[in-house]
């Protein structure tokens, strides 16, 4: 095909994808945050689409709510309506009408981005062709270098730029160390609320994947929910947002457990409805305390890593909206997933082993933690090997379908109680630890010490407490 033929062709673009992205962005903030890192003004081929995208960016920068009415008003006030809307007053409404569900905004953004890349490569290839036609024997190497530079300039934004100059890193690190020295506590991450555990971990650190594993009925879910409750109840962390993905229990079951633990009213009484007047008062106090707490719960099942990622982004955006509405610095600070083995692997192949599928899931959770810069606590099952040994203390090799779980995790914690193994299995074993001392074993700690934290578990309240609280009656 000749150069003239190429020049006569319409450059790659998709008007439908551009409209879908813009229509989604006009409807909610989730779509905006989902595509903002993928697209720039030049990504849009159609002029009015480029200008509209630029307008939406400007409005977000000025903290102006984005919808059809506010965008139209902004265009009129800034004398831009003629170039974008013109006489087609239904243009914005039509974008919303033809836009698919907003959760597909990322998909259409990838189409727009891909078409833009093709246009940039075509432009670069024209420049390279011109240079080659004008080449002399002495300029061959320089032209080859320039061709490489032109192609690299086009593709470099498609690469994941995760490297940073050491100068910037050192300055940021020293600032972080300085901030830590000003703290009244040595807990630098998200505190669990458990004294001995926080001494070992320094709190759950941003971007860390924390695996919490135990045998069934040992109290994994209770412990994770207690951490969530402790976070939103803390004086220093009351503005922390918590995202919970419950694949095993329903939202209402999670709410029951939170109320039981907070009120110190037995879960069995709450479920049976046999509650005294004094206990009703306790429930009311607990409800008031939890009512405005920054916890979002999703009980979708089945759910894949991609869906968890998308919903976590939505939670992050929702916390931003709460912060804007209340003037409080609310932000997503920790994610809890209960539990890892129940996550589905979208796109997995039939011949993949279960270990490989779980490994892909654990890597996805680690990627999520890094992407959102928050700790992710993922609950996991232990296999039965512990019950076959004389020494019941769990080991890293006991992680069920472990694959790369151990490798991906920054912290691996085990819940362990000797009483669990004293008699029987399942419900009988669970009965044995109605109230028992439980060790939180730090078996892996990529950036810290190993050790045990000792807690008391009160099964009927689904509550773990510091041992000092038990002694003092607190």
The pLDDT tens digits for 321-375 are 888 888 888 889 999 998 888 887 654 445 566 777 777 788 888 888 988 899 9
State the pLDDT at residue 374: 92
**More confident: 406 or 5:** 406
Q: Read off the CATH number of the domain in which 466 is found.
A: 3.40.50.300
The reply to whether 242 and 141 lie within a common domain is no
In a domain? residue 175: no
Q: Indicate if 352 belongs to the active site.
A: no
DSSP-derived secondary structure for 32-100: HHHHTTT--GGG--SHHHHHHHHHHHHHHHTT---SHHHHHHHHHHTT-HHHHTTT-TTHHHHHHHH--
Between the alpha carbon of residue 233 and those of residues 191, 292, 293, the distances in Å are 11, 10, 8
| Owning domain of residue 53 | 3-158
Residues 68 and 144 in one domain: yes
Statement: residue 72 has pLDDT above 90: no
Among 141, 158, 175, identify where a domain stops: 158
Nearest residue to 265 (alpha-carbon basis) of 287, 289, 251, 283: 283
116 and 193 in a single domain? The answer is no
357 versus 195: the higher-pLDDT residue is: 195
Query: Are 380 and 335 in the same domain?
Result: yes
Residue 179 lies in a domain: no
- Distance separating alpha carbons of residues 300 and 250, to the nearest angstrom: 9
Average of per-residue pLDDT across 433-445: 81
Check residue 243 and give its pLDDT.
Answer: 92
245 and 363 both lie in a single domain: yes
Q: Is residue 41 part of a domain?
A: yes
Does residue 151 sit in the same domain as residue 204? Answer: no
Claim to verify: residue 215 and residue 336 sit in the same structural domain: yes
Q: Is residue 182 part of a domain?
A: no
Measured in whole angstroms, the distance separating CA 464 from the mean position of its chain's CA atoms is 26
pLDDT band at 473 (very low <50, low <70, confident <90, very high): very low
The confidence score (pLDDT) of residue 471 equals 41
Between CA 368 and CA 312 the distance in angstroms is: 9
* 116-175 residue pLDDT tens: 988 888 888 888 888 898 888 877 877 876 776 777 667 655 544 445 566 676 677 677
Residues 362 and 458 in one domain: yes
101 and 210, same domain (yes or no): no
What dihedral angle (degrees, nearest 10) is formed by the CA atoms of 129, 134, 135, 141?
Answer: -50
In a domain? residue 169: no
180 lies in a domain?
no
Q: State the Cα–Cα distance between residues 54 and 52, nearest whole angstrom.
A: 5
Q: What's the total number of domains in the chain?
A: 2
User: In 133-199, which ranges are E strands?
Assistant: none
Assess if residue 297 is contained within a domain.
yes
Read off the CATH number of the domain in which 63 is found.
1.10.860.10
Residue 10 lies in a domain: yes
Task: Give the tens place of pLDDT for each residue, 196-254.
Answer: 888 888 889 888 999 998 888 788 898 999 999 888 888 788 888 999 998 888 888 88
Instruction: Look at the pTM and tell me if it is higher than 0.75.
Output: no
Catalytic, out of 16, 229, 248, 406: 248
Taking residues 43-61, report their average pLDDT.
Answer: 88
Looking at the structure, do residues 217 and 329 belong to the same domain, yes or no?
yes
Sheet holding 411-416, edge to edge: 295-298, 240-246, 331-338, 376-381, 209-214, 411-416, 435-445, 451-458, 463-466
In terms of domains, do 81 and 126 share one? yes
Consecutive H or E run containing 7: helix 3-8
Same domain, 127 and 211: no
Q: What is the pLDDT of residue 245?
A: 92
């Amino acid at each position: 095909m000749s150069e003239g033929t190429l020049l006569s062709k319409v450059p790659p673009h998709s008007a439908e994808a551009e409209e879908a992205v813009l229509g989604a962005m006009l409807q909610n903030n989730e779509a905006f945050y989902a595509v903002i890192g993928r697209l720039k003004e030049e990504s849009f081929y159609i002029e009015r689409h480029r200008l509209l995208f630029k307008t939406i960016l400007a409005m977000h920068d000025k903290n102006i709510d984005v919808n059809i009415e506010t965008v139209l008003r902004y265009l009129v006030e800034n004398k831009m309506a003629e170039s974008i809307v013109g006489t087609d007053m239904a243009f914005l409404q039509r974008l919303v009408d033809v836009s698919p569900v907003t959760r597909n905004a990322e998909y259409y953004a990838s189409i727009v981005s891909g078409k833009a890349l093709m246009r940039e490569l075509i432009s670069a290839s024209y420049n390279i062709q011109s240079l080659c036609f004008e080449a002399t024997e002495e300029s061959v190497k320089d032209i080859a270098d320039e061709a490489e530079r032109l192609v690299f300039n086009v593709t470099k934004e498609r690469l994941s730029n995760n490297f940073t100059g050491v100068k910037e890193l050192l300055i940021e690190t020293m600032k972080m160390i300085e901030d830590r020295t000003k703290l009244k506590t040595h807990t630098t991450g998200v505190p669990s609320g458990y004294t001995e555990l926080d001494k070992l971990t320094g709190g759950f650190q941003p971007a860390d994947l924390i695996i919490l594993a135990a045998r069934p009925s040992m109290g994994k879910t209770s412990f994770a929910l207690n951490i969530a409750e402790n976070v939103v109840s803390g004086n220093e962390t009351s503005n922390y947002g918590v995202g919970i993905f419950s694949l095993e229990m329903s939202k209402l079951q999670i709410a029951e457990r939170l109320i039981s633990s907070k009120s110190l009213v037995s879960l069995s009484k709450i479920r049976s409805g046999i509650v005294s007047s004094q206990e009703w008062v306790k429930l009311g106090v607990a409800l008031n305390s939890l009512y405005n707490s920054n916890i979002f719960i999703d009980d979708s099942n089945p759910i894949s890593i991609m869906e968890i990622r998308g919903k976590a982004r939505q939670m992050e955006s929702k916390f931003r909206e709460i912060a804007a509405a209340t003037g409080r610095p609310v932000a997503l600070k920790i994610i809890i997933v209960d539990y890892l083995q129940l996550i589905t692997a979208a796109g997995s192949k039939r011949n993949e082993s279960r270990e490989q599928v779980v490994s892909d899931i654990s890597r996805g959770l680690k990627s999520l933690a890094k992407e959102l810069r928050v700790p992710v606590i993922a609950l996991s099952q232990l296999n039965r090997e512990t019950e076959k040994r004389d020494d019941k203390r769990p080991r890293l090799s006991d992680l069920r379908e472990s694959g790369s779980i151990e490798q991906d995790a920054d912290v691996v914690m085990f819940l362990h109680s000797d009483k669990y193994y004293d008699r029987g299995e399942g419900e009988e074993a669970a009965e044995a630890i109605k109230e028992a001392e439980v060790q939180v074993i730090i078996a892996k700690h990529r950036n810290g010490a190993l050790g045990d934290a000792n807690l008391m578990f009160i099964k009927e309240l689904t509550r773990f407490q510091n041992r000092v609280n038990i002694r003092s009656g607190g």
